[in-house]
A and B are shown apart, each in its own frame.
Chain A
Amino acid sequence: MHADRTNRFALTLFGLLVLLTGAAGITASAGVFGTGFSRRTLFANRVSAYIGHHGTWVWAAAAGVCLLIALAALRWILVLLISTDRAGDIPIPVSTQGTTILQPAALTGALTREIGTYHGVDSARGRIIGDPSDPEIVITITASQSADLHALHQRIETEALAHARHALGQADLPIQLDLGVSRRTA
C-alpha cells in the first residue's frame, strides 16, 4: 500500500470531523438546539445518560474499538515509515517450462542508457512501480535547452519505450514519460 492516498483521505476525514465537532459545539452553545439545552451542562444529555446507565458494556466496546484503531494507526505509521511504490523482481513467462525473473534495475538501467545516447538528452532516470505482475515504468528525462522536445519524445516513444515493451513481452505496458529541460544553457 502506498500511503499518499491514505494520508489525504484520513486527513480529509479528520478535518471534517474536527470541523463538524466545532460547528456542533458552537451551535449548541448559541442555543440553536433550544435555549434550555444551551443552559444544560455538557453531560446532561441522552447520550451521556445512556453511557452512564450502560457503562459496563459501552466502555468495553469502546476499548475494543480503540484496540482496532490503535492497530490501524500503528500499521499506518509503519506504512508511512517504510512504504515504497517500487516494484519487486518482475516475472517474465518465457515458455511453459519456466519463468525469467527480471530485476527492475536491469530494465531501467538499459532503458536510461539507451535514452542517454539520444541527441539532446542531458540525463535520464527510471523506476518501475506497482505490482511486479502488472508493472508501470516511470521515465524522467532532462533534455538540454536546445533540444527539439517533440523529436526527442517521438524517438523515445518509437525506439526506447518500444524496446522496453518488447523486453517485458507486454505491448500495452503502461509507461509514464516526463520530459524536463535542463536549466543549464548549452
Chain B
Amino acid sequence: MAEMMYWEAIRRAQDEEMANDPMVFLMGEDIGVAGGTYKATQGLYKKYGEHRVIDTPISENGFTGLGIGASFLGARPIIEIMSVNFAWLAMDQIFNTAAKVRYMSGGQLEAPVVVRSPGGTAHQLGSQHSARMEKVFMGIAGLRVVTPSNPRQAYGLIKSAVRCNDPVFINEHERMYNMKGEVPDEEFFHPLEGSDIARPGRDVTLFGYNISVHWCLQAAETLAKTYGIEAEVVDLYALNPLDRAGIRESVTRTHRAVIVEEAEPAVGVGAEVMAIINEECFFELDAAPVRVSALNVPIPYNHKLEVAALPDVDDVVNAVRGMFGL
C-alpha cells in the first residue's frame, strides 16, 4: 500500500488504462506537452505520443463531441475539462449526445467516454472559476456521475469508468489534487455505484461527497469529543445513480440525517438525498433532515465573503447540535 497524492492516483489509473488498451486516449487543454494543469497527465505525452495524449484547442464542446464520436467506434477517450466551469460549454454534447445516444438509437450505439473535471471552489478564483456542477450532471438520465473523495477512489473509479460502456462524468476537486492517501499497489477497480461508510456511528448520519466528506469526518470528531454524539459518515462517491439502499440502511441505523454539500442548496445533492429518505425510510426519522449548503450566491472574490458563502466544519457541527437541541 503506497501513499500517493490524488493527482498521482489519477495519473497512475490513466497510465495503466492506456497501457492496457491502445484505443484509450486522452484529450484536453494543456494535458500533453505542458503535463496538465493539475499534473494528472504528467509524463504521459512522452510515453504515449501526441496521437494518444492530445493537446486540444480551447473548444470544449468541440473536443468533447469529438471524443464522443470516437467512442462510437470503440475508442475509449478520457476527456479532461480543465475546470468544471468550462464544462457548461460542452454540455450540449454531454447532455444531448453522450447521455442519450444509446436510448435514442434503440441500443445500437453507446458512448463510453470518461469526462474528468475539477469542480468546487478553490482560493479566490471568483464567480466564473468556482462552479459546483455535480447537481447539474447528476440529474441527467444516461450519464453516470462519480466524485472521488480520496486518492484510492480517484484511482479505482477512473479504472472502472474507462472500461464501463456508459459515459461517466468524474467530478474531481480543485483543492484535492495534493491530498495524500493510500492506494493499493495491486490493480483494482472501484464500483461505480454504491456508497462507503467512511466512519461508522449510531446517532446521526452525515452524508458527504468529494470534499464535504472531509468536513463531515472532522465534524464527527468534534461531535464525539465535545458532545458525545457518534456520527456515521457516508461517502456518496456515486451521485448518479445515488445509493438508495445505502442511504436507507444508514438512516435506519441512526434515525437522523444531515447532508453536506459545497453547492447552493436548490435542486442539489441535499435535496435529492432528502427526497430519497422520504421515499425509502421516512418513518425511521427521529428528526427532520437538514442540509448544509453554500449560500445561494455567485462565489465572491473577496476572501472573507468567499468563506461566508461556503459551508464549513463548524456549520456541520452546528447543524447537528441544532438537531439535538444542544
Whether A and B are associated in the same complex: the answer reads no
